[in-house]
Structure 1
Amino acid sequence: MMKQEAMDQRFSSCRGVSFEIQPHKDPFAIDAPRASRRSWLPWGSSKRIVPTSGAVISRSTSRASSHFCDLETDDEDDQDNVLINIEEGYELDNNHELPILCSIDQGQNLPQAPSKKIVSKPTKPKESRLSVILLDQGLFTVYKRLFMVCLALNVTGLVLAATGHFPYARNHATLFSIGNLLALTLCRTEAFLRIVFWLAVNVLGHSWVPLRFKTATTSLLQSLGGIHSSCGVSSVAWLTYSLVLTLKDRDNTSNLIIGVASTILALLCLACLAAFPLVRHLHHNVFERTHRFTGWASLVFLWAFIVLTKCYEPETKSYRKDVGSRLIKEQEFWLTLIVTILIIIPWVTVRRVAVKVSAPSGHASIIKFAGGVKPGILGRISPSPMSEWHAFGIISDGKEEHMMLAGAVGDFTKSLVSNPPSHLWVRQVHFAGLPYLVNMYNRVLVVATGSGICVFLSFLLQHGPAEVCLLWVAKGIEQNFGKEIKEWVSRHPKEKVIVHDTAVMGRPNVSEMSVAAARKWGAEVVIVTSNPEGSRDVVNACKSKGIPAFGPIWDS
């Protein structure tokens, strides 16, 4: 009996957000009128859900989950149960009517939450996050296609060079390796990508541009990581080929040059291994530090390699001193110089700035900075710039300040709650990602779970070229995200905002809600920010109904 009572009192947590809920009158709470009949149907049914009598919500002591955007039940003892919201007027039939009572409006007094009912459903095997990242996103995603196309071009060049049909590549194998390094660096240079995204929005962000061009551009820009990864592997392949040619011609080189080239190859291989999805997913800090420092070390040795090879005289087995005049005539020198500049640019903008950190709850913190920021922009912060960086969406009204919402899910984000710092390191050049491309469209539905709301709030606070409608699913709006964020959301009309508080309304089918909202609002595209499983489900559901949809990918 005690166990059953505990199950009745538990609600799903939301990426580390778990707390006790007091019964109270809340603008986000929703009441269901009393009814004489009682019945239920699972989410996604084409039938109307018949209401039940209202009930007072008891305390919830749900356990923290591993991801702020999760909407899964956390307790292993409750895997076969799901909370169903029973509410009058909520139906998802063939016309996909929206739940009117889920909308919020300024000054609207909504009743208390509806009653909940625990419903049994078949046990579903729990998917690992890694399987979702690697397999469930599909075998032929744009990311993987870009990877394969780039790799195929490089392999073709290597085969032609090795068979004597591409003599230029055979004589400049190192140049092709550096060219791949330049391409992969461009795909990760935030200042360069900010320009690319800005151009995409300003060139294609017109109503007369066909929607398919906009969605194709969005897919491409979101998946540039595929080019980055493929160029990394290709760079190793070209350098290996160059080293093989050098070893075949040992009489015209030196052991020092061979040693430096071998060191570069070993460092690049280590960087590639650290970026392997399994390592990157399970040991992200190891990946980040290894990738960064091996990259820097490779660049240093690359400069040494270029200088040594260009000033070495095979006839005399010595090195010339007038290396400067020879270097500026070499293509390898200029490509390496560009790579070096691109790598240095982000670090030139690093500053230690004063911040104001507050914690609405023990599971999330709000970090405030001086200066306004445009909608859709993301930023990076760090307690120690040489060791780790963390990216967050930026909330700003474009005036005097901007802020970040950080769920307490890791050591750094938890320390923001337990020991709020007075200063943090930031990169002053903010970067553009998928949310920034909202500006390319005319009418967009943005879907967020948990703290994913932060990257979309700026579109509500600042008027932009796109008409943005919001669907937000989270737990304990005011308790976990603060009164300020709740007021920002609640001031907008119900025609533009739907908020589903899982603490009082139960766990919804976000995919069905997204499809229904997109159809009602006539959205051109749906953009979602959630955990990998949630993003995948929403994107797949929308695409199955012919609605273009995009969500974050594992290497975006």
Structure 2
Amino acid sequence: MYAVSPGRSRSSSHFCDIDIDADKDDHDDDDDDDVEVEFIAEGTQDAEKQQQKKANSSRISIILLDQGFTVYKWIFLVCLALNMVALSLAASGHFPYAKEKASLFSIANILALTLCRSEATLRILFYLVVKTIGKPFVPLRIKTSTTSFLQSLGGIHSSCGVSSISWLLFSLVLTIKNKNKTSTEIIVVAFVILLLLFLSSLAAFPLVRHLHHNVFERTHRFAGWTALILLWLFILLSISYDPNSQSYHFTISKMIKNQESWFTLAITILIVLPWLTVRKVAVRVSTASSHATIIKFEGGVEAGLFGRISPSPLSEWHAFGIISDGKKEHMMLAGAVGDFTRSLVSTKPNHLWVRKLHFAGLTYLVKLYKRVLLVATGSGICVFLSFLLQKRQHHVDVYLIWVAKDIETNFGKEIVELVRNYPKEKVIVHDTGVCGRPNVGEMSVEGATTWNCEVVIVTSNPQGSKDVVRACKKAKIPAFGPIWDS
């Protein structure tokens, strides 16, 4: 069903930095690990502030109060419990190795949390998972359980962050108790690292992260970099210090034999690797509508991936879903919802900074299944369009429900044509400006049942995603949507 009608509407942020829907509960969704979230509403400044306050309030209520015991929380608690048991055994003298190597356990947790956020590692992991269990004979339960786990890897990241602080604090206490065996410099450096880790974790707390996202991103980034530099200094000082002579004597052999050095080297490689792919590339920017721009790049990209762009690579990065036919070019849909995205409309730059290493998210796992219903509201459509364009390049039979307001006016003819060119019997496009606001949850259940889909993947605002997932699960249909940490 196609129902597309021109009209006027206000804009707000969504999964790909734009959503066009004037309904009261249509707010932004989270950025994938680091996708920036911004809000805008037309009208006076007071109206804009009121709308943002309302959006923040709704979002925080979903994040903090209405999630239940999620897989993310389960993973967080299991990982934290394992660390706390080991720490308790070490403190009580029943785990002497951990007591002697408390700083190593702290660094090991930092390595684990880095692995769970490494775009290169996750790209490889998602690829291997799709190749391994994305076969028709693999039971659906295994696929859905794997999807749920991979989507919630942030639980390991968060838990290891808390655990690394606990282990480092334990190590610092032991060091101070035996300060005759160490130096003041080592204690000071360890204490500063502890403060930086605590500051980084505090900035990542949901209430801070989602109300002050720029504070979170910059604190997390620069505190992390500084802590890494100081960690190398801590290791060099620790392996060089001789308590008998109270002096430093560094040798390469000590460095090679030191376990902390190898763990820290792995952390450094994982952090530096994405930055080695940063390039300034030529782009073509065109106006999709008064609310959005389309940014085009050379080179095809496989379906299900996201990309990062920046006007200034050291200060800010913006992540968007990638739209590509997999051949000659790819593009991103950017809404005019922040300083950077508004500047794209006004200045239309010829070059932007990009990370050549594109990263995988929930949508990449669409490839695990045989028949999938994709449900999008507003600009959530952009993360799914590659599957429509590359229908001959993957084995997945994809169906689509897209709900948005004044679609052609707000998204432009180019985006609309990409959807229109897909087989009509596999698509439902619902323009709320023409047909009114639907019950997307009921539509999803009906669509999945009619098309006999194995699973439903939704991109919407927090409330919308929750409604679709709950409706589908009530009907015993597996469903997944962005979580607050996705």
Instruction: Note whether the superposition's TM-score is higher than 0.5.
Output: yes
Query: Which amino acid is 2:96 matched to?
Result: P
Residue equivalent to 1:100: none
The counterpart of 2:238, out of the listed 306, 309, 315, is: 309
How far apart in 2 are the matches of 1:263 and 1:483? 54
Residue equivalent to 1:439: 367
Residue equivalent to 1:539: 469
TM-score normalised over the length of structure 2: 0.90
How far apart in 2 are the matches of 1:331 and 1:245? 19
The counterpart of 2:418, out of the listed 480, 488, 497, is: 488
Residue equivalent to 2:42: none
Residue equivalent to 2:148: 219
Residue equivalent to 1:550: 480
Pairing of 1:404-553 with structure 2 (within 5 A): 404-462=332-390, 463=392, 464-553=394-483
Shift of 1:494: 2.3
CA change 1:505–1:489 in 2 (3 A) is same
Shift of 1:232: 0.5
SS in 1 for 2:384: helix
Residue equivalent to 1:338: 266
Q: Does 1:135 align with 2:85?
A: no
How far apart in 2 are the matches of 1:72 and 1:224? 34
Residues 244-296 of structure 1: per-residue CA shift (max 9 Å, x gap): 00000011111111000001001101100111111100110110010000000
Instruction: Report the more deviating stretch, 182-191 or 486-495.
Output: 486-495
Pairing of 1:31-110 with structure 2 (within 5 A): 62-65=9-12, 67=14, 68-69=18-19, 71=21, 73-74=23-24
SS in 2 for 1:328: helix
Moved >6 Å (runs of 4+): none
Residue equivalent to 1:351: 279
Instruction: Report the more deviating stretch, 409-418 or 169-178.
Output: 409-418
How far apart in 2 are the matches of 1:529 and 1:147? 24
Contact 2:288 2:414 in 1 (8 A): no
Residue equivalent to 1:372: 300
How far apart in 2 are the matches of 1:245 and 1:315? 19
How far apart in 2 are the matches of 1:185 and 1:193? 11
Residue equivalent to 1:177: 106
Contact 1:62 1:74 in 2 (8 A): no
The counterpart of 2:96, out of the listed 167, 171, 182, is: 167
How far apart in 2 are the matches of 1:412 and 1:517? 37
CA change 1:29–1:523 in 2 (3 A) is closer
Contact 2:111 2:263 in 1 (8 A): yes
Shift of 1:461: 0.8
Contact 2:7 2:409 in 1 (8 A): no
How far apart in 2 are the matches of 1:473 and 1:220? 28
Query: Which amino acid is 2:438 matched to?
Result: P
Residue equivalent to 1:99: none
How far apart in 1 are the matches of 2:372 and 2:285? 32
Query: Which amino acid is 2:233 matched to?
Result: A
Shift of 1:66: 5.1
Residue equivalent to 2:85: 156
Shift of 1:419: 2.1
Query: Which amino acid is 1:420 matched to?
Result: K
How far apart in 1 are the matches of 2:445 and 2:21? 18
Contact 1:515 1:545 in 2 (8 A): yes
How far apart in 2 are the matches of 1:29 and 1:211? 34
Q: Does 1:206 align with 2:156?
A: no
Contact 2:374 2:457 in 1 (8 A): yes
Shift of 1:236: 0.3
How far apart in 2 are the matches of 1:192 and 1:61? 43
Query: Which amino acid is 1:311 matched to?
Result: S
Greater Rg, structure 1 or structure 2? 1
Gaps of 5+ in 2: 26-53
Query: Which amino acid is 1:263 matched to?
Result: V
The aligned length equals 452
Shift of 1:366: 0.7
How far apart in 2 are the matches of 1:333 and 1:306? 7
Pairing of 1:291-310 with structure 2 (within 5 A): 291-310=220-239
Contact 1:358 1:420 in 2 (8 A): yes
Pairing of 1:109-120 with structure 2 (within 5 A): none
Residues 374-399 of structure 1: per-residue CA shift (max 9 Å, x gap): 01111111111111111111111111
How far apart in 2 are the matches of 1:326 and 1:511? 61
CA change 1:216–1:70 in 2 (3 A) is farther
Q: Does 1:265 align with 2:194?
A: yes
**Superposed CA RMSD:** 1.7
Query: Which amino acid is 2:401 matched to?
Result: L
Query: Which amino acid is 2:481 matched to?
Result: G
Residue equivalent to 1:114: none
How far apart in 2 are the matches of 1:308 and 1:331? 14
How far apart in 2 are the matches of 1:492 and 1:195? 30
CA change 1:260–1:482 in 2 (3 A) is same
Shift of 1:476: 2.1
Contact 1:406 1:451 in 2 (8 A): no
Residues 530-550 of structure 1: per-residue CA shift (max 9 Å, x gap): 111111111111011100000
CA change 1:440–1:61 in 2 (3 A) is closer
SS in 1 for 2:308: strand
Residues 121-153 of structure 1: per-residue CA shift (max 9 Å, x gap): xxxx99621111222222x10101110000000
Shift of 1:69: 3.6
Residue equivalent to 1:92: none
CA change 1:72–1:141 in 2 (3 A) is farther
Contact 1:65 1:74 in 2 (8 A): no
CA change 1:504–1:134 in 2 (3 A) is same
CA change 1:341–1:391 in 2 (3 A) is same
Residues 414-461 of structure 1: per-residue CA shift (max 9 Å, x gap): 221222211111100101110000000000000011111111111111
Contact 2:300 2:330 in 1 (8 A): yes
How far apart in 2 are the matches of 1:194 and 1:449? 26
Residue equivalent to 1:119: none
Residue equivalent to 1:384: 312
CA change 1:534–1:69 in 2 (3 A) is farther
Shift of 1:70: 6.6
TM-score normalised over the length of structure 1: 0.79
CA change 1:69–1:391 in 2 (3 A) is same
How far apart in 2 are the matches of 1:144 and 1:415? 38
Query: Which amino acid is 2:275 matched to?
Result: W
Shift of 1:309: 0.7
